[in-house]
Chains A and B, each alone.
Chain A
Amino acid sequence: MMQIGDFSFKLEAMAAPLPIWRATCSAADWSAVAQSVAINGGRLLSLWGSDRRDGEAGGFVISVAYANTEGLLWLDLLLDKDVTVYPDISGIFPCANRMQRTIGDLLGVFAESAEDKRPWLNHGTWPATYFPLRQEATGLEQFSDCAAEDYPFVRVEGDGVHEIAVGPVHAGIIEPGHFRFSVVGERVLRLEERLGYKHKGIDKLFERTNALDGARLAGRVSGDSTVAFSWAYCMALESIGNTQLPPRAAAFRALLLERERVANHLGDLGALANDVAFAFGLTHFMRLKEDCLRLNQRLFGHRLLMDCIIPGGVTVNLENEGVFDLMTQCKEISGEVKKLRAVYEDHSGLQDRFISTGRVSHELAVTLGLNGFSGRASGVTSDLRADFAMAPYADLGVRRAVHCNGDVAARATVRFDELLESLRLIPKIVSELPGGDIFVQPVFDGARKQGAGWIEGWRGEVFVALDSDGEKIHRCHCHDPSWQNWPVLEHAVIGNIVPDFPLINKSFNLSYAGPDR
């Protein structure tokens, strides 16, 4: 059972394949609980708000998900009717800053006494008095006379300091976001990110989406993590319906998740080499990635594996021939990756650029909540696949990849290790595929409930919190691991030279679409 200091909660275990509990908390305890979680080595996974003025709660609700080695605690703070403030916890968990500002933009409920009150997602393109997540809003309102406004970046002043403004439209084929560098000569003194350019109103759109169709939308929160998000969403919905996932479907979901991990690591390992002008690496890794995506298309009907996971199971199945093709490809790619890894390791120019660049110390990683492979490269060992015995990972014996240097080289090393580990897991999964169904029809009793999904995607922890009766979605919150990792990037570049920024950025490869939603 989860230990949170001296607090006594009525913990309600949720029907989920991972240990997840729910509890409610008073405003008086809100900050103290956060403090206690932090002291006991827990981390803040996600923070979001809901309008439950029509339900039992009778007011706005602020929710937080804390995680530690024992599991996840979903804690609700029920605000009294007409109360639109709650205690700020960004002093304890710095990653809460942007999440709290987002709650302010979308729900009009604000962290009291928070220092940073700037809007985050609202760039001025909708009125500051319009809160899409409130019940009186439909989400379909249009404000054609609102235009994007300037953002008050923090200014660094002094002799020789100048600013470099980059974005939102970047030089490569990348997602939009704005980076404001304050530099002296070539060195970066400070980087401030401004994101939110891709905000499409997905949270509100969920409320206009049928619960069973929600998986399709969740799968488009961040396209490169479509498997992780659709699985997390389905886990949440299945938790509401208490749906027992057939073992064969669970095995397929893990197979798809590992295929997604392989494709993304292959692409990024190539791109990392390209960022240090070693085009050879890009060419070879992009070829391997394309091979992987083509086999996805042939076996599963979609190159990026979108819509393969649906509530109650999966849409994909395999014959013996497909199993053989997957095993053969894993062996081939694995052999190629090992050869390419040796080339990378021998290449002094590449190593010179990788080593000691964009360093994130273990201490900083813990303070800011760095997660996923980037966290593991800074010695944060958490990997849900290895931490919790969820089918089918319980039987696979996932070997977690951990490094302690926290630089670009360490992140590349962890990616190589995780890539090779996934290539070891895939043949294991397909050779031991359980028989039986790939789908079971989820059945709901019509009661409005909350469900949660928690998945170790290739980038990090994906979390979905769902409030639904199985048909109507009252609230769906999709959390991308990039929420925590973006602010870490601001620290990782300090003291590095500007030309190393693309390399450092790519070594994390964070999602813009995911946190912008």
Chain B
Amino acid sequence: MLKMLIQMARQGIGTEPKPEIDADSFPAEHRLHQEILNVLGRALTIREVDAGSCNGCELEIHATNNLYYNLEGLGIKFVASPRHADMLLVTGPVSRNMAMALQRTYEATPDPKLVVAVGDCTINGGIFGESYASCGGVDKVIPVDHFIPGCPPPPIEILKGILTAVRQVSGKKKDASGQKQEGFSG
């Protein structure tokens, strides 16, 4: 126990500042959490679905959970079931063998749901393209709100992408209701 405490004390806090997306549109840091609350009414929960990646994207999504990025500190959490999720984070070109599972996961996610696709493969199949075994992109199977390019995208880009998707939806919601919401601007 003593060794643990010493290690913790020596390490201190390693968490870094949140990433800046698009300088003029990014909300002030203290409003970010509020924005998530406005859009979703609570913290953001994510269900990750690997639909045929090489597993490189999974390594980087894992990394977003490390102390440097401190995802949970932003109110973002990975959950074990699509039924508990606000957002699906999908990787891979969608192998034909995973298409049905992805479709069912999407259907099991409660509305309003966001889909963020991580990695070049999700856009058009990437290096794997479209074939007898690959659907060639996530939007061939389920609707996608936001793509994060990269092979694989580094954690900071994944984080930016998640925040951008949340923001896009908050914009859409505003447009639909035709009125400005309290609590954040932009």
| Chain A contacts to B: CB under 8 angstroms | 121, 123, 125-126, 130, 132, 137, 139-143, 146-148, 168-169, 171-176, 196-202, 204-205, 216-217, 220-224, 226, 267, 280, 283-284, 286-287, 289-290, 293, 297, 303-304, 306, 339-340, 342-343, 346, 511-513, 516
Contact = CB atoms under 8 A, between A and B. Distances in A.
Interface residues of B, number: 51
B98 A223 contact: no
Contacts of B132: 126, 130, 132, 137, 139-143, 201, 204
A220 B127 contact: yes
Name the 10 nearest CB pairs between A and B, nearest first.
A223-B56, A201-B133, A171-B80, A125-B96, A223-B54, A286-B66, A220-B54, A223-B55, A201-B131, A123-B97
Given A142-B132, A200-B93, A169 B66 contact: no
B50 A287 contact: no
B67 A286 contact: yes
B51 interface: yes
Contacts of A343: 3-4, 7
B100 A205 contact: no
Given A148-B101, A198-B52, A513-B52, 20 more contacts: A141-B132, A142-B131, A142-B132, A171-B80, A175-B53, A176-B49, A176-B50, A176-B101, A198-B50, A198-B97, A198-B98, A199-B97, A200-B134, A205-B129, A220-B54, A220-B151, A221-B54, A280-B4, A304-B56, A306-B151
A220 B56 contact: yes
A511 B58 CA distance: 12
Contact of B130 (A140, A146, A217, A516): A140
Contacts of B50: 173-176, 198
Q: Is the interface of A mostly helix, strand, loop or mixed?
A: loop
A283 B95 CA distance: 33
Contact of B66 (A147, A290, A339): A290
A286 B52 contact: no
A220 B54 CA distance: 6
Interface in B1-23: 3-4, 7-8, 11, 14
Nearest to B68: A290
A154 to B, nearest CB: 21
10 contacts: A140-B132, A143-B132, A148-B99, A174-B58, A224-B56, A226-B56, A267-B59, A280-B7, A289-B63, A304-B59
B34 interface: no
B52 A342 contact: no
Contacts of B57: 223
A140 B60 CA distance: 30
Contacts of A297: 154
Contacts of B98: 168, 176, 197-198
Contacts of B54: 220-223, 226, 513
Nearest to B69: A290
Contact of A339 (B3, B63, B78): B3
**Residue from B7, B48, B66, B92 whose CB has the most chain A CB atoms within 10 Å:** B66
B55 A224 contact: yes
Nearest to A264: B59
